[in-house]
A and B are shown apart, each in its own frame.
Chain A
Amino acid sequence: MSKITLHNLRHSYVPQPAGPDDWALKELNVEWSDGGAYALLGPSGCGKTTLLNIISGLVHPTKGRISFDERNVTDAGPGERNIAQVFQFPVVYDTMTVRQNLEFPLRNRGMPESEIPKRVEEIAEILDLQDMLPRRAAGLTADGKQKISLGRGLVRSDVNAILFDEPLTVIDPHLKWQLRSKLKELHQRIKVTMIYVTHDQIEALTFANTVVVMHEGTVVQIGTPVELFERPQHTFVGHFIGSPGMNVLPCDLVNGAPHVAGQPVKVQTKASPKANGQRLEIGVRPEYVRFADSGVPAKIIKVSDVGRYRVVETRCGEERVNVIVNDDMSLPADGAHLQFEPAFTGLYADGWRVD
């Protein structure tokens, strides 16, 4: 087990990268501490899988360095890195039984025969595979096969890290829950670094202690679920996490204070914002917006009842602002005004949070 560090990592799939669009991964410096449970969250095509494959050694980065503890492994193959990886679609060795599938990574690494059965039984028990052990892997359902893939990833006890590439895509929703809790439970038991790639925020937030959010080849924020929610470092994080996502409104500076639609807005920032040609916005989650008698004027467009609360869609000029309102509160008739909770309202310059 070890700490994984990425230094100045960049990757491109084109041989001679020219513009920024050629880089699948732009300059990255990330440290994954030993024993952490990480989620790598981002929309499709943001470079998550590329990053994962670079860590496991399946892809060699164009530039930069990867170290496990102090050892530079940039040029080491996946076999030498002692990493386990589970892929999006189940990979099972069709001609083998479930047991042989689980034994395969152990035998390849020369584990003494006497220890193999014990280890296999252990993993089979965790994944509820005991009854299937003697069966041929080919005949199983998609989620049965994916459990085997997970099992092959987990069966080695000495790995540096276990990487998951959207492993629950093919699993039925009700089993997803179950397997995710299993993984979480397992992480607590064996304390090995786990990196879990997903584009599903719920999956990421429930699995991980630390979430790494990626967008267009860069890491935009690394933080705990609470940090991502309360203090998004980038408007993208605000949009992407939360349902509905953070409201982002363009703002002007009047005498050094941010104003939205002519109304002053208090934001949570120590720095005094300057207008030096940057695009300024304020971001506030719908949870921290409420109706008031004064403030930013808005018009109610639509109300959706989602159960425990209502989501009210309003227009403030051209901009849409969502407001989350409890069921028992009445809505203003027309000519509504919005107030933003200052502690949870951020100022963003060119998309990045000004702290």
Chain B
Amino acid sequence: MNEKAPYQKGWIFVIPVVALVAFNAVIPLMTVVNYSVQETFGNNIFFFEGIKWFQAVLTSDRFHAALGRQLAFTATILAIELPLGVAIALAMPRKGPWLSVCLVLMALPLLIPWNVVGAMWNIFALPDIGLLGKTLNNLSINYNYTQQPAAAWVTLIAMDVWHWTSLVVLLAFAGLSSIPDAYYQAAKIDGASPYAVFRYIQLPKMRRVLTIAVLLRFMDSFMIYTEPFVLTGGGPGNATTLLSIDLVKVALGQFDLGPAAAMSIIYFLIVLLVSWVFYTVMTRKEEA
């Protein structure tokens, strides 16, 4: 919109931000890179190992399994939360007091600390004393997320849908409320069906916000740690051990700094790469 003026002193404005983020990002990242190419036997004695840890991580079955679970998890929640969020946003009241009520209640899960979300679902789904778990068992559905991998997955996904669908709803709703009334009026005059209104007016206008929604949900679901850790601890067995849980197990549990660091870098690169691909693909059409 605004033509930007060339002004090299613009750098002065960004110094505080760069300093803070660099302090937090560059030093730890260098630490991680440093670990990732060395071997240690304690006593602060390190040996240079080159890309050994990277090879080890990339070829290990354990990493493949965690990555596979991570991809399955992210794909599932995206497939549920996006359409659901858009559908709810479409059905929301457009204005009035009920809109405020909807917005406030829907935003609530987003502001609950993540471990509380985990704890809440943990007790909500407990098969013997939780409302959900006990009710399911009373309906003679054999459900115990602490022992059945399938039940653990369902609970994990239900929790994420509970926690994050509202973000998609609010973003989609923001996109919808930016559509001027004239568009809906014109569509009525043109005799458009409700589907055509959705396909040719609402969906295109939500495109930008939905791009943001996909990116945020992808990134955050890929980085998810606290909620599944509190809910299932990665179990039963390793059934719900997602990437970050596995990473923390390796780094802090077994103190294998080299492999953990190599895994961190691979992990970070995957998030970056996929985000970039998403972003490019989803915005490319807009420019054409």
Q: Are B189 and A56 in contact (CB under 8 A)?
A: yes
**Interface positions of B from 169 to 221, Cβ below 8 Å from A:** 180, 182-183, 185-186, 188-193, 196, 200-201, 204-205
* A108 in complex: contacting residue of B180, B182, B193, B204, CB < 8 Å: B193
Q: How far is the CA of A85 from the CA of B39 in the complex (A)?
A: 74
Q: Are A78 and B188 in contact (CB under 8 A)?
A: yes
Q: Are B191 and A84 in contact (CB under 8 A)?
A: no
* B189 in complex: contacting residue of A84, A88, A96, CB < 8 Å: A84
Beyond the given A104-B192, A108-B191, could you list 17 further A-B residue pairs with CB under 8 A, ordered by the A residue number? Answer: A56-B189, A77-B188, A84-B189, A85-B185, A87-B182, A87-B185, A91-B186, A93-B200, A93-B201, A94-B204, A95-B200, A95-B204, A96-B200, A104-B190, A108-B196, A136-B288, A152-B186
Most buried by B among A57, A77, A87, A153: A87
Q: Are A78 and B192 in contact (CB under 8 A)?
A: no
Closest to A155 in B: B190
23 pairs, A vs B, C-beta closer than 8 Å: A53-B185, A56-B189, A57-B188, A58-B185, A78-B185, A78-B188, A78-B189, A79-B191, A83-B189, A84-B189, A85-B186, A87-B182, A89-B182, A91-B180, A93-B201, A104-B200, A105-B189, A105-B190, A105-B191, A108-B192, A108-B196, A152-B186, A152-B190
Please tell me the size bucket of the interface on A: 20 to 34
Known: A77-B188, A93-B200, A94-B204. A88 touches B193 (CB 8 A): no
| Number of interchain pairs (Cβ within 8 Å) | 55
Q: How far is the CA of A94 from the CA of B186 in the complex (A)?
A: 13
Q: How far is the CA of A85 from the CA of B183 in the complex (A)?
A: 12
Known: A79-B191, A104-B192, A108-B196. A149 touches B186 (CB 8 A): yes
Does A109 count as interface, using CB distance less than 8 angstroms?
Answer: yes
Contact with B along A152-170 (1 / 0, CB 8 A): 1100000000000000000
Closest to B201 in A: A93
Binding site for A on B (CB under 8 A): 180, 182-183, 185-186, 188-193, 196, 200-201, 204-205, 288
Collect the chain B residues with CB atoms within 8 Å of residue A58's CB: 185, 188-189
Q: How far is the CA of A109 from the CA of B189 in the complex (A)?
A: 11
* B188 in complex: contacting residue of A79, A88, A153, CB < 8 Å: A79
Q: How far is the CA of A104 from the CA of B201 in the complex (A)?
A: 13
Collect the chain A residues with CB atoms within 8 Å of residue B192's CB: 104, 108
Q: How far is the CA of A83 from the CA of B189 in the complex (A)?
A: 7
Q: In terms of DSSP, what is the predominant structure of the interface of chain B? A: helix
Q: How far is the CA of A108 from the CA of B196 in the complex (A)?
A: 9
Q: How far is the CA of A309 from the CA of B183 in the complex (A)?
A: 46
Q: How far is the CA of A343 from the CA of B53 in the complex (A)?
A: 103
Closest to A87 in B: B182
Collect the chain A residues with CB atoms within 8 Å of residue B288's CB: 136
Shortest distance in angstroms between A145's beta carbon and chain B's nearest beta carbon?
12
Q: Are B190 and A108 in contact (CB under 8 A)?
A: yes
Q: How far is the CA of A149 from the CA of B185 in the complex (A)?
A: 12
Q: How far is the CA of A108 from the CA of B186 in the complex (A)?
A: 13
Closest to B200 in A: A93
Shortest distance in angstroms between A246's beta carbon and chain B's nearest beta carbon?
35
Known: A91-B182, A93-B201, A94-B204. A85 touches B189 (CB 8 A): yes
Shortest distance in angstroms between A266's beta carbon and chain B's nearest beta carbon?
51
Q: How far is the CA of A53 from the CA of B188 in the complex (A)?
A: 12
Collect the chain B residues with CB atoms within 8 Å of residue A57's CB: 188
Q: Are A88 and B204 in contact (CB under 8 A)?
A: no
Shortest distance in angstroms between B193's beta carbon and chain A's nearest beta carbon?
7
Collect the chain B residues with CB atoms within 8 Å of residue A88's CB: 182
Closest to B285 in A: A95
**Interface positions of A from 50 to 96, Cβ below 8 Å from B:** 53, 56-58, 77-79, 83-85, 87-89, 91, 93-96
Collect the chain B residues with CB atoms within 8 Å of residue A153's CB: 189
Closest to A96 in B: B200
Q: How far is the CA of A91 from the CA of B186 in the complex (A)?
A: 7
10 A-B pairs with the lowest CB-CB distances in the bound complex, closest first:
A108-B191, A91-B186, A105-B190, A87-B182, A78-B188, A93-B200, A85-B189, A95-B204, A79-B191, A94-B204
Collect the chain B residues with CB atoms within 8 Å of residue A84's CB: 189
Collect the chain A residues with CB atoms within 8 Å of residue B180's CB: 89, 91
Collect the chain A residues with CB atoms within 8 Å of residue B188's CB: 57-58, 77-79
Shortest distance in angstroms between B190's beta carbon and chain A's nearest beta carbon?
4
Q: How far is the CA of A277 from the CA of B288 in the complex (A)?
A: 70
Shortest distance in angstroms between B188's beta carbon and chain A's nearest beta carbon?
4
Shortest distance in angstroms between A181's beta carbon and chain B's nearest beta carbon?
24
Collect the chain B residues with CB atoms within 8 Å of residue A56's CB: 189
Most buried by A among B189, B192, B204: B189
